[in-house]
Amino acid sequence: MSLNLDTLRLQIDSLDHKLIALLNERAQVSLDIGAAKREAKDSQDEENTHVYIPGREKQVFEKVTRLNPGPLAADSLCAIYREIMSASIALQKDVMVAYLGPVGSFSHDASMKRFGDSVQYASQGTIADVFEAVERGRCQYGVVPFENSIAGSVVPTLDKFIKSKVKIRAETYLPVHHYLLSNSTTEAVRRVYSHPVALAQCQIFLNSQLKGIELIPCASTSEAAQLASKEKYAAAICNRVCADIYGLDILHADIEDQQDNTTRFFIISDAWDAPTVSDKTLLMFTVDHRLPGALCDGLKVFKDHSLNLTKIDSRPSMLRPWHYVFFVECAGVHGDSEVMNNVVAELGKFCLDVKIVGTYPDQRPQDLN
């Protein structure tokens, strides 16, 4: 059978007719869901209705991946569904997402992959500004980096969680590849701009190719690209997309110390969501260093409830010298569960300032599980 281009395009036209009708049918159901959510809220307060439901989105992505017979690649189908659900969110409500900008940062990338093209984005100068945009209600959601697989925790984010009332609503993991971009040549580069966490991820490259060069920390990798684009002998370590956005040349690609380099981001908001089949919860508490074994006793509470810990970190409390705030994340438990209520009550007997920072569907990539 010979393949006729015109006939095949007619077939595509006819399928597009059906797809458009189906997509609009889905959009109408989404509008009804939006109305149902508003009705379900006692206050009928549209401002406080959440349209972004991370657990439901996880379910939809899992379902379409499972149902996909091919030849469409699973990633392509998920990208299509990302945009379908983004349009769905925008139909239900005007949504504004704050991220650490300017455009071209990894936070921007993570935000776009999480919320798609149909919502609105507000670039912020610092991580603290992202928190503030959410706290003050200028943005319903904010995206902040939490930890990197090479460089570890992102300290400004941890420190903001200590003071802020925002809640973690979702998590997302982004593979991170760094590029050295410049208008100069590698030999002529005199200074390199980047975010400190990004610089920490490229130590091997910097020590071998740019040893002794001045390293200038910036608020974000995209700000670094912006600065480098205005100077003659400067370079930036940043996302590849910054080459086009800021008109820079690629001098070196994939300069991160490990090729599976990944950053975990949190989606912050004024509330977390209902339980799903697999949630994680991040808690915070302060231990008194004068009580011997206080941290050990704190961790034993989690053991006694058979909770698997997936992250532990500490920061100075900044209230009293030598008092530390501990962050503990546990898997398989939701913040509103009875188990978690008991954990909080038991910790409260000998720890100060016990607080659940957030609870969110477990989105760990398969190979991390």
Give the residue with the Cβ less far from ligand PRE, 160 or 334.
Answer: 334
CB of residue 87 vs ligand PRE: minimum separation in angstroms? 8
CB of residue 337 vs ligand PRE: minimum separation in angstroms? 21
By beta-carbon distance, which residue lies closest to ligand PRE?
88
Q: Are 183 and 248 in contact (CB under 8 A)?
A: yes
Q: Which of 219, 223, 227 is nearest to 156 (CA)?
A: 219
Q: Are 282 and 147 in contact (CB under 8 A)?
A: no
Give the residue with the Cβ less far from ligand PRE, 57 or 132.
Answer: 57
Give the residue with the Cβ less far from ligand PRE, 28 or 341.
Answer: 28
CB of residue 69 vs ligand PRE: minimum separation in angstroms? 21
Spatial separation of the C-alpha atoms in residues 127 and 306, rounded to whole Å: 34
Give the residue with the Cβ less far from ligand PRE, 19 or 250.
Answer: 19
Spatial separation of the C-alpha atoms in residues 329 and 316, rounded to whole Å: 18
Give the residue with the Cβ less far from ligand PRE, 55 or 104.
Answer: 55
Spatial separation of the C-alpha atoms in residues 307 and 333, rounded to whole Å: 8
Spatial separation of the C-alpha atoms in residues 331 and 359, rounded to whole Å: 10
CB of residue 40 vs ligand PRE: minimum separation in angstroms? 11
Helix (H, G, I), strand (E, B) or coil at 212: coil
Strands of the chain (E only): list them: 96-100, 120-124, 141-148, 152-153, 167-175, 179-182, 191-194, 214-217, 234-238, 249-252, 262-269, 279-287, 308-316, 324-331, 352-361
CB of residue 260 vs ligand PRE: minimum separation in angstroms? 28
Give the max Cα distance, the chain: 84
CB of residue 81 vs ligand PRE: minimum separation in angstroms? 8
Give the residue with the Cβ less far from ligand PRE, 59 or 164.
Answer: 59
Residue located via tokens 């190719």 = 209
Give the residue with the Cβ less far from ligand PRE, 85 or 176.
Answer: 85
Residue located via tokens 């532990």 = 312
Which residues contribute to the site for ligand PRE (CB under 6 A)?
Answer: 30, 33, 51-53, 56-57, 60, 85, 88-89, 92
CB of residue 290 vs ligand PRE: minimum separation in angstroms? 47
3-state secondary structure 254-299: CCCCCCCCEEEEEEEECCCCCCCCCEEEEEEEEECCCCCCHHHHHH
CB of residue 168 vs ligand PRE: minimum separation in angstroms? 16
Q: Are 245 and 200 in contact (CB under 8 A)?
A: no
Give the residue with the Cβ less far from ligand PRE, 33 or 299.
Answer: 33
Strand 262-269 relative to strand 324-331, pairing: unpaired
